[in-house]
Amino acid sequence: MGLTALLARVATGAPVPVFAVAGPGTRSLIRDLRLRPEIRLVDTPRPASVLLVGGLVPAEMEMAVARVHDAMAHPRATVLWSAGAAGLGRPEGFDDAIPVDGDPVAACVAAYRDILVGRRGSEPPILPDVDPAPWRGVGPYGQGGSGMTGGVPYGRPMAELGPDPDGLRLDVLPVAVGPLFPRFPAGLVVDARLAGDLVLEVEVANLLANATAAAPSPEADPFLRALGERVAIADLELARARAHLRSVAEALLAAGLEALALRALRIAANLRAGDGALVRRLATIISATQVLRWSLRGVGAVPPEAVAGLGAGPVARASGLREDLRLEDPAYRDLGFAPLVDAGGDAAARLRLRLGEAVQSLDLAARAGARAATATGRVETPRGRLEAESSASERLFTVLPSLLREHEWGDVVATIVSLDLDLEEGPLARGRARPEAAA
Cα separation, 318 vs 115, whole angstroms: 48
Q: How far is C-alpha 142 from the geometric centre of its chain's CA atoms? A: 38
Is residue 284 within the footprint of another protein (CB under 8 A)?
no
Query: In the complex with another protein, which residue's Cβ is closer, 243 or 252?
Result: 252
Residues near 410 by beta carbon (within 8 Å), at least 6 away in sequence: 197
Site string for another protein, 48-67 (x = CB under 8 A): -x------------------
**3-state secondary structure (DSSP) of residue 253:** helix
Query: In the complex with another protein, which residue's Cβ is closer, 196 or 309?
Result: 196
Contact indicator for 146, 154 with CB cutoff of 8 Å:
no
Minimum Å gap between C-beta 259 and another protein is: 4
Query: In the complex with another protein, which residue's Cβ is closer, 61 or 265?
Result: 265
Is residue 14 within the footprint of another protein (CB under 8 A)?
yes
293 burial via Cβ count (<10 Å: 0-12, 13-18, 19+)? exposed
Give 295's strand partners: none
**According to CB under 8 A, which one of 1, 95, 140, 288 is a site residue for another protein?**
288
What angle, 0 to 180 degrees and rounded to 10, lies between the N-to-C axes of helices 276-288 and 233-254? 20
Query: In the complex with another protein, which residue's Cβ is closer, 19 or 337?
Result: 19
Minimum Å gap between C-beta 175 and another protein is: 5
- 224 to each of 55, 375, 385, 422, 433, how far by Cα in Å? 18, 11, 12, 13, 10
Nearest to 381 by CA among 366, 368, 394, 397: 394
Minimum Å gap between C-beta 89 and another protein is: 24
Contact indicator for 106, 74 with CB cutoff of 8 Å:
no
Is residue 142 within the footprint of another protein (CB under 8 A)?
yes
Query: In the complex with another protein, which residue's Cβ is closer, 229 or 258?
Result: 258
Is residue 15 within the footprint of another protein (CB under 8 A)?
yes
**According to CB under 8 A, which one of 124, 147, 196, 377 is a site residue for another protein?**
196
- Contacts for 248-252 with beta carbons within 8 Å, 24 or more apart? 248/282, 248/286, 248/351, 248/354, 248/355, 248/358, 249/31, 249/34, 250/31, 250/183, 250/417, 250/420, 251/291, 251/296, 251/347, 251/351, 251/414, 251/417, 251/418, 252/286, 252/291
Query: In the complex with another protein, which residue's Cβ is closer, 15 or 401?
Result: 15
Amino acid 409 reads: W
**According to CB under 8 A, which one of 56, 97, 105, 194 is a site residue for another protein?**
194
Minimum Å gap between C-beta 411 and another protein is: 7
Segment contacting another protein by CB under 8 A, of 43-51, 84-92, 94-102, 335-343: 43-51
Is residue 189 within the footprint of another protein (CB under 8 A)?
no
Cα separation, 378 vs 193, whole angstroms: 38
Query: In the complex with another protein, which residue's Cβ is closer, 252 or 302?
Result: 252
**According to CB under 8 A, which one of 141, 146, 165, 336 is a site residue for another protein?**
141
**According to CB under 8 A, which one of 295, 361, 391, 393 is a site residue for another protein?**
295
How is 178-211 classified by DSSP, letter by letter? -SS-TTSPTTEEEEEEEETTEEEEEEEEETTTT-
Is residue 13 within the footprint of another protein (CB under 8 A)?
yes
Bond prior to 104 in cis (omega within 30° of 0): no
Is residue 414 within the footprint of another protein (CB under 8 A)?
yes
**According to CB under 8 A, which one of 67, 266, 280, 367 is a site residue for another protein?**
266
Is residue 46 within the footprint of another protein (CB under 8 A)?
yes
| Binding-site ranges for another protein (CB under 8 A) | 4, 7-8, 10-15, 17, 37, 43-44, 46-47, 49, 71-75, 116, 131, 135, 137, 141-142, 156-157, 173, 175, 181-183, 194, 196-197, 252-260, 262-263, 266, 285, 288-291, 294-295, 299, 408-411, 413-414
